[in-house]
Structure 1
Amino acid sequence: MPTAQSPVLGLRENAAQFTLLVAVNALVGGMVGQQQTVLPLLATDEFGLTGYTFIFTYVAAFGLTKAAANYFAGTWSDRFGRKPVLLVGWLFAIPVPLMLILAPNWWWIVAANVLLGINQGLTWSTTVVMKIDLVGPARRGLAMGLNEAAGYGAVAVSSLLAGYLADQYGLRPAPFLLGLAYIALALLLSGVFVRETRDHARLEAAQHIRRADGLHDHLHENLTDRQIAVQTSFTEPALSSASQAGLVNNLNFGLSWGLFPLLFATADLSPGQIGLLFALYPGVWGAGQLVTGALSDRIGRKHLITAGMSLQAVALALIAASGSFTGWAAGTVLLGAGTAMVYPTLLAVIGDVAHPAWRGRAVGIYRVWRDSGYAVGAILGGIVADLMGLHAAVWMAAAVSAVAASAVALRMYETHPRSARASRGRG
């Protein structure tokens, strides 16, 4: 097994640490899943909230703080190392379940989601960077597929468990006891067993070879933080296209988080049925990434992202047009499949293009844009739902997803070196 003194790149060579990080990321996802089914119902049943925009404040608070935490996770992981950032992220999670259980008013819920956003930004970003460090360039898509499958599979399982617990024992405290267990286990694994991976990134940087086509020559090792932010956000076609597509992807997730349980409740479904419907989306999303991440290593990134964003648009249109369990189930399954095609592949694009010396910062900037989508989806969805109804808000998301698919098709180039060479050979 590789040691801190002699790092070796590769999934097989680092299987034990990689598997441990997959388990940690599952616990990160579980922290979100424990509340997704329950909080919209708490808002209406216990706190008497009726305005959709107001109900979605907790999603917006989560998204904004997670986006900001992503930036610091990337910067600090490059500067201080990955493991310290991971541990600090879990410390921020400790008060969250207790605040949700004890909350006397809605602002406690919002405050808990501020802390949860910090936890998610620091821990999820760091596990992404650590896995990319370990596997090296050859199997980056597979690594991201496994990482995101663990995280969003746990979101689905925890959503189901929380819905069941709410059905059996009430909305509080039972569903949130899951979070306390997740935090205790995560602190044990992260503190005792996880090892630092920054030396793996340094090894890859030492072995780094520029692309023969010259596409990345402007992305050399010594970019400033400002240059990295500008390239990832606006000017570099692949990096900035990935950031835009990531924002729209999480716009859909943020809107679904706040809106889907309320939409499904209009058909007089039980909390357990609503939990099942909500779990289908991240469940298919999570399981599908086991296939799509590795598939992007074989067929390339760009077309998988374009097709996935297009499928999300179709799925949202089906959900908006439906009014029953069956139609919503079909729509959420398709939405999960489209998201599975996009999610790990976008992270693989960042890993393909960013230099190992500033990879953590590039991942952080990408995730700032992507996770801003939570807030944009929650606020925009809430405003449209208040003005025009729940179904209109979902139609809006479908239209935005279609536009995003077109933008990727027009602007992003293929970033996977082997697939890019094959495309030029056929040309």
Structure 2
Amino acid sequence: MLGLRQNLAQFTLLVAVNALVGGTLGQERTVLPLLATDVFGLELYTSSLTYILAFGVAKAATNYLAGTLSDRYGRKPVLVAGWLIALPVPVLLIYGPSWDWIVAANVLLGISQGLTWSTTVVMKMDLVGPHRRGAAMGLNEAAGYLGVAATAMATGYLAAEYGLRPAPFLLGAAYIGLGLGLSVLTVRETRDHARLEAAGHAGARPEAHAGLSSAQVFTLTSFRDRSLSSVSQAGMVNNLNDGLAWGLFPVLFAAAGLSLGQIGILAAAYPAVWGAGQLATGALSDRWGRKGFIVAGMLTQALALALIAVGSGFGAWLVAMVLLGVGTAMAYPTLLAAIGDVAHPAWRARSVGIYRLWRDGGFAAGAVIAGLVADAFGIPTAVTVVAALTAASGALVAVRMRGRDHTPGLSLPAATRHLRSPRP
């Protein structure tokens, strides 16, 4: 049976699991950029951002695989595998004697996040069906990024009181143990819900979708379909500026003389507003449409980044970080919901994985672009460049994406006719 109310218990459990997924990522947001400079003595921004590059590449690739694996083997095994891969991460972060160990930890963290976060997204889409998808994605992403925010603030406090290692990462170890236990013992498989939705699907002819290969789904999601490709590029740019915020903002704030406590507040404010705001924006996009939220969100993020580049001091930066969270809250769950709107249930998990491949590839792109520009011209210039890219991305969505893509598979019959292999 499909629907949020009908599957409320499992849906709520998955929200809690994704909060733990977000917390596992949040253990790094405040502490790791400072660990790079204060403990390992890395001076070049391109060197210190290698952990974000490693995380982004690993997570992007795993996102792509997560959709295919969850279609083939089921959602729950993929979720459990993601938690198992995360088990060594806190140990490496605590005891790593060189920066290479930290980079290796972030490869594992990226793989884990790709499997766990992608799978919780797909499972919630399976449970709720087509009519409350924006609300479901808002709840999912809110839980994840409120977990990021709460942990970023908590680890800032722990680092100030007890040092950069090991105390902040013990919190992440607890999250991983709890998330693994819940996933093994209480989460139920949801693949049959997707099959039920596909059986009653009213979009394009079923035979236009059932035989699509992964390569064909990749082409549709990345390039051929106007809405899916618009969403994919916007997701990539969104995480490009998130990678900038993760890797360089704590360094910028520390260089301005802010305390660890203030840096923790700033590092938490952005994902906290982002997380809480999605509770409203996801549901509102079900009513008002996806495109307007995505365009406005990207432009708001660009404005916030510009204010960070020209601003100084805790108060000005706090306002800008809140605004950055508002813009991200408008775009983030809406992007995921738009993928779910257009992709057919028969290959939706793969399309979500491909979208998340592009989106989390933004972490890697952000690490490279921000690092190179910051080394050459300084952090404020790097922030300005990313602000311009974010504004351009919003403008591209405004021009290319179709409006009110609410009907699953609405735009795809013509596209899939070109992609289907001839039948004998």
Q: TM-score, normalised by structure 1?
A: 0.94
1:149 to 2:142 alignment? yes
- Distance, in Å, in 2 between the alignment partners of 1:77 and 1:273 is 41
Counterpart residue number, 1:254 = 243
Counterpart among 77, 97, 101 of residue 70 in structure 2: 77
Question: What is the root-mean-square deviation of aligned Cα atoms in Å?
Answer: 1.6
Deviations 1:233-269 (A, max 9, x none): 1110000000000000000001111000011112111
1:239 to 2:265 alignment? no
- The alpha-carbon deviation at position 219 of structure 1 amounts to 6.2
Whether the 8 Å CA contact 2:296–2:330 is kept in 1: the answer is yes
Counterpart among 100, 104, 123 of residue 97 in structure 2: 104
- The alpha-carbon deviation at position 217 of structure 1 amounts to 9.4
- Distance, in Å, in 1 between the alignment partners of 2:68 and 2:206 is 23
Paired letter, 1:92: I
Paired letter, 1:367: R
1:170 to 2:159 alignment? no
Counterpart residue number, 1:3 = none
How many residues align? The count is 410
- Distance, in Å, in 2 between the alignment partners of 1:344 and 1:56 is 26
Whether the 8 Å CA contact 1:219–1:354 is kept in 2: the answer is no
Counterpart residue number, 1:5 = none
- The alpha-carbon deviation at position 221 of structure 1 amounts to 3.2
Paired letter, 1:149: A
1:306 to 2:295 alignment? yes
Q: Counterpart of 1:208 in 2: which secondary structure? A: coil
- The alpha-carbon deviation at position 415 of structure 1 amounts to 4.1
- The alpha-carbon deviation at position 417 of structure 1 amounts to 3.1
Paired letter, 1:136: G
- The alpha-carbon deviation at position 179 of structure 1 amounts to 1.0
Whether the 8 Å CA contact 2:28–2:152 is kept in 1: the answer is yes
Counterpart residue number, 1:117 = 110
- The alpha-carbon deviation at position 180 of structure 1 amounts to 1.0
Query: Do the aligned partners of residues 104 and 417 (structure 1) sit closer, same or farther apart at CA in structure 2, a change above 3 Å counting?
Result: closer
Deviations 1:260-309 (A, max 9, x none): 00111121111111010011110000000000000000100001100100
Within a 5 Å distance, the mapping from 1:278-427 to structure 2 comes to 278-417=267-406
1:45 to 2:35 alignment? no
Whether the 8 Å CA contact 1:238–1:415 is kept in 2: the answer is no
Q: Counterpart of 1:35 in 2: which secondary structure? A: coil
Deviations 1:374-417 (A, max 9, x none): 01011110000000001000001110011001100000002443
- Distance, in Å, in 2 between the alignment partners of 1:140 and 1:264 is 38
Query: Do the aligned partners of residues 219 and 50 (structure 1) sit closer, same or farther apart at CA in structure 2, a change above 3 Å counting?
Result: farther
Counterpart among 252, 257, 281 of residue 268 in structure 1: 257
- Distance, in Å, in 2 between the alignment partners of 1:138 and 1:29 is 26
Structure 2 regions of 5+ residues with no counterpart?
411-424
Query: 338-347 vs 409-418, which deviates more?
Result: 409-418
Task: Spell out structure 1 runs of 4+ moving beyond 4 A.
Answer: 216-219
Q: TM-score, normalised by structure 2?
A: 0.95
Whether the 8 Å CA contact 2:342–2:406 is kept in 1: the answer is no
- Distance, in Å, in 2 between the alignment partners of 1:179 and 1:71 is 25
- Distance, in Å, in 2 between the alignment partners of 1:417 and 1:46 is 50
Counterpart among 194, 197, 206 of residue 190 in structure 2: 197
Deviations 1:39-89 (A, max 9, x none): 111111111111000000000000000001101100000111000000000
Counterpart residue number, 1:208 = 201
Whether the 8 Å CA contact 1:219–1:355 is kept in 2: the answer is no
- Distance, in Å, in 2 between the alignment partners of 1:66 and 1:373 is 10
Q: Counterpart of 1:85 in 2: which secondary structure? A: helix
